[in-house]
Structure 1
Amino acid sequence: MSKLVLALAILCLLVTQILSQEAENRRFCDRLTADCNRQQGTVGTQDDTVNIYNDHCRRTDRTWRRITRCQLVRASCILTMVRCDNVTCKNVAAALRN
Protein backbone atom coordinates (compact mmCIF):
# COMPACT_ATOMS: atom_id res chain seq x y z
CA MET A 1 0.00 0.00 0.00
CA SER A 2 2.78 2.45 0.90
CA LYS A 3 4.54 1.76 -2.42
CA LEU A 4 1.35 2.66 -4.27
CA VAL A 5 1.00 5.93 -2.31
CA LEU A 6 4.65 6.77 -2.98
CA ALA A 7 4.26 6.05 -6.70
CA LEU A 8 1.12 8.20 -6.82
CA ALA A 9 2.89 11.06 -5.04
CA ILE A 10 5.80 10.92 -7.49
CA LEU A 11 3.38 10.87 -10.40
CA CYS A 12 1.59 13.95 -9.03
CA LEU A 13 4.90 15.78 -8.68
CA LEU A 14 5.84 14.95 -12.27
CA VAL A 15 2.49 16.15 -13.61
CA THR A 16 2.83 19.40 -11.64
CA GLN A 17 6.33 19.95 -13.03
CA ILE A 18 5.17 19.33 -16.61
CA LEU A 19 2.23 21.73 -16.29
CA SER A 20 4.36 24.50 -14.78
CA GLN A 21 7.02 24.04 -17.47
CA GLU A 22 4.37 24.43 -20.21
CA ALA A 23 3.12 27.69 -18.68
CA GLU A 24 6.68 29.01 -18.40
CA ASN A 25 7.42 28.09 -22.03
CA ARG A 26 4.22 29.80 -23.19
CA ARG A 27 5.25 32.99 -21.33
CA PHE A 28 8.65 32.79 -23.04
CA CYS A 29 6.89 32.60 -26.42
CA ASP A 30 4.73 35.59 -25.48
CA ARG A 31 7.83 37.64 -24.61
CA LEU A 32 9.59 36.56 -27.81
CA THR A 33 6.55 37.57 -29.88
CA ALA A 34 6.30 40.92 -28.10
CA ASP A 35 9.99 41.61 -28.86
CA CYS A 36 9.44 40.70 -32.50
CA ASN A 37 6.41 42.98 -32.75
CA ARG A 38 8.37 45.88 -31.23
CA GLN A 39 11.13 45.46 -33.84
CA GLN A 40 8.70 45.03 -36.71
CA GLY A 41 8.79 48.74 -37.54
CA THR A 42 12.52 48.66 -38.30
CA VAL A 43 12.94 45.06 -39.49
CA GLY A 44 9.66 44.67 -41.38
CA THR A 45 6.97 42.02 -41.51
CA GLN A 46 8.57 39.87 -44.21
CA ASP A 47 12.01 38.45 -44.90
CA ASP A 48 13.48 35.78 -47.17
CA THR A 49 12.77 32.97 -44.71
CA VAL A 50 9.10 33.77 -44.18
CA ASN A 51 8.61 34.42 -47.91
CA ILE A 52 10.05 31.02 -48.79
CA TYR A 53 7.95 29.41 -46.06
CA ASN A 54 4.78 31.12 -47.30
CA ASP A 55 5.52 30.08 -50.90
CA HIS A 56 6.10 26.48 -49.84
CA CYS A 57 2.91 26.32 -47.78
CA ARG A 58 0.92 27.95 -50.59
CA ARG A 59 2.10 25.23 -53.00
CA THR A 60 1.09 22.44 -50.62
CA ASP A 61 -2.12 24.02 -49.31
CA ARG A 62 -4.24 26.25 -51.56
CA THR A 63 -6.09 27.70 -48.55
CA TRP A 64 -2.84 28.96 -46.97
CA ARG A 65 -2.91 32.61 -45.92
CA ARG A 66 0.41 34.43 -45.84
CA ILE A 67 1.85 34.95 -42.37
CA THR A 68 4.23 37.59 -41.10
CA ARG A 69 7.70 37.09 -39.67
CA CYS A 70 6.43 37.54 -36.12
CA GLN A 71 3.60 35.06 -36.65
CA LEU A 72 6.14 32.48 -37.82
CA VAL A 73 8.33 33.24 -34.80
CA ARG A 74 5.35 32.76 -32.46
CA ALA A 75 4.15 29.57 -34.12
CA SER A 76 7.60 27.98 -34.23
CA CYS A 77 8.18 28.85 -30.56
CA ILE A 78 4.86 27.35 -29.48
CA LEU A 79 5.39 24.25 -31.58
CA THR A 80 8.91 23.57 -30.34
CA MET A 81 8.78 24.82 -26.74
CA VAL A 82 5.20 23.97 -25.74
CA ARG A 83 3.92 21.23 -28.01
CA CYS A 84 7.21 19.54 -28.99
CA ASP A 85 5.92 19.24 -32.55
CA ASN A 86 7.25 19.83 -36.06
CA VAL A 87 6.96 23.20 -37.80
CA THR A 88 4.76 22.08 -40.69
CA CYS A 89 2.28 24.27 -42.54
CA LYS A 90 -0.65 22.49 -40.90
CA ASN A 91 0.86 22.75 -37.41
CA VAL A 92 1.75 26.44 -37.86
CA ALA A 93 -1.82 27.23 -38.92
CA ALA A 94 -3.17 25.35 -35.90
CA ALA A 95 -0.75 27.07 -33.50
CA LEU A 96 -1.77 30.50 -34.78
CA ARG A 97 -5.47 29.70 -34.39
CA ASN A 98 -5.01 28.99 -30.66
Structure 2
Amino acid sequence: MTKAVACIRKGWLHVRNSSYMLLDVRVPQQFQKCHVTGAVNYPYTVASIGRAAEPRELIAFKHQPTKPIICYDFDGHHAPDVARTLLQRGYRNFHVLNGGNYSHI
Protein backbone atom coordinates (compact mmCIF):
# COMPACT_ATOMS: atom_id res chain seq x y z
CA MET A 1 0.00 0.00 0.00
CA THR A 2 1.24 3.47 -0.87
CA LYS A 3 1.67 5.81 2.08
CA ALA A 4 -0.54 8.85 2.21
CA VAL A 5 1.25 12.14 2.05
CA ALA A 6 -0.74 14.53 4.19
CA CYS A 7 -0.27 18.10 5.26
CA ILE A 8 -2.41 20.71 6.93
CA ARG A 9 -2.97 23.88 4.91
CA LYS A 10 -5.30 26.67 5.93
CA GLY A 11 -7.18 24.43 8.36
CA TRP A 12 -7.75 21.61 5.86
CA LEU A 13 -6.10 18.23 5.67
CA HIS A 14 -5.06 17.51 2.07
CA VAL A 15 -4.15 14.05 0.83
CA ARG A 16 -2.06 13.62 -2.31
CA ASN A 17 -2.80 10.15 -3.58
CA SER A 18 -5.40 8.78 -5.97
CA SER A 19 -4.72 5.09 -5.39
CA TYR A 20 -7.02 4.85 -2.38
CA MET A 21 -10.36 6.22 -1.21
CA LEU A 22 -11.04 8.17 1.96
CA LEU A 23 -14.56 7.33 3.09
CA ASP A 24 -15.96 9.86 5.56
CA VAL A 25 -18.87 8.20 7.37
CA ARG A 26 -20.08 11.25 9.29
CA VAL A 27 -23.49 12.83 8.63
CA PRO A 28 -23.62 15.32 5.72
CA GLN A 29 -23.79 18.37 8.00
CA GLN A 30 -20.50 17.42 9.66
CA PHE A 31 -18.92 16.55 6.32
CA GLN A 32 -19.88 19.90 4.78
CA LYS A 33 -18.52 21.80 7.77
CA CYS A 34 -15.05 20.25 7.53
CA HIS A 35 -13.62 17.21 5.77
CA VAL A 36 -10.49 15.82 4.20
CA THR A 37 -10.21 17.14 0.65
CA GLY A 38 -11.08 14.40 -1.82
CA ALA A 39 -12.99 12.27 0.70
CA VAL A 40 -16.30 10.65 -0.28
CA ASN A 41 -19.18 11.10 2.16
CA TYR A 42 -21.05 7.87 2.99
CA PRO A 43 -22.93 8.61 6.23
CA TYR A 44 -23.17 5.80 8.76
CA THR A 45 -26.91 6.48 8.86
CA VAL A 46 -27.13 5.61 5.15
CA ALA A 47 -24.68 2.69 5.22
CA SER A 48 -27.16 0.53 7.12
CA ILE A 49 -29.92 1.04 4.52
CA GLY A 50 -28.53 -1.27 1.87
CA ARG A 51 -26.40 -1.62 -1.22
CA ALA A 52 -28.60 0.65 -3.32
CA ALA A 53 -27.34 3.60 -1.25
CA GLU A 54 -23.63 2.89 -1.87
CA PRO A 55 -21.88 5.74 -3.71
CA ARG A 56 -20.64 4.79 -7.17
CA GLU A 57 -17.13 5.88 -6.13
CA LEU A 58 -17.21 3.24 -3.40
CA ILE A 59 -18.52 0.53 -5.72
CA ALA A 60 -15.67 1.28 -8.16
CA PHE A 61 -13.16 0.36 -5.42
CA LYS A 62 -14.79 -2.99 -4.58
CA HIS A 63 -12.58 -6.00 -5.42
CA GLN A 64 -9.57 -3.72 -5.97
CA PRO A 65 -6.99 -5.10 -3.50
CA THR A 66 -4.37 -2.54 -4.55
CA LYS A 67 -6.79 0.35 -3.90
CA PRO A 68 -7.70 0.42 -0.21
CA ILE A 69 -10.72 2.19 1.21
CA ILE A 70 -9.95 4.09 4.42
CA CYS A 71 -13.04 4.69 6.62
CA TYR A 72 -13.02 7.49 9.14
CA ASP A 73 -15.33 9.59 11.26
CA PHE A 74 -14.83 12.24 13.92
CA ASP A 75 -13.91 10.06 16.88
CA GLY A 76 -13.77 6.45 15.69
CA HIS A 77 -17.23 5.57 16.96
CA HIS A 78 -19.14 4.84 13.71
CA ALA A 79 -16.39 3.88 11.24
CA PRO A 80 -15.97 0.33 12.67
CA ASP A 81 -19.72 -0.28 12.22
CA VAL A 82 -19.57 0.83 8.59
CA ALA A 83 -16.50 -1.38 8.11
CA ARG A 84 -18.44 -4.40 9.42
CA THR A 85 -21.28 -3.57 7.02
CA LEU A 86 -18.85 -3.35 4.10
CA LEU A 87 -17.29 -6.68 5.11
CA GLN A 88 -20.74 -8.29 5.04
CA ARG A 89 -21.22 -6.86 1.52
CA GLY A 90 -18.03 -8.41 0.23
CA TYR A 91 -15.56 -5.54 0.56
CA ARG A 92 -12.14 -6.73 1.71
CA ASN A 93 -9.91 -3.76 0.89
CA PHE A 94 -10.84 -1.36 3.67
CA HIS A 95 -9.20 -0.02 6.79
CA VAL A 96 -10.48 2.07 9.69
CA LEU A 97 -8.58 5.17 10.75
CA ASN A 98 -7.99 4.46 14.43
CA GLY A 99 -9.59 7.02 16.72
CA GLY A 100 -11.21 9.14 14.02
CA ASN A 101 -9.80 11.92 11.88
CA TYR A 102 -9.17 14.48 14.61
CA SER A 103 -7.07 12.17 16.75
CA HIS A 104 -4.29 12.37 14.13
CA ILE A 105 -4.18 16.15 13.67
TM-score by length of 2: 0.22
Task: Flag the structure with higher helix content.
Answer: 1
TM-score by length of 1: 0.23
Larger-gyration structure (1/2): 1
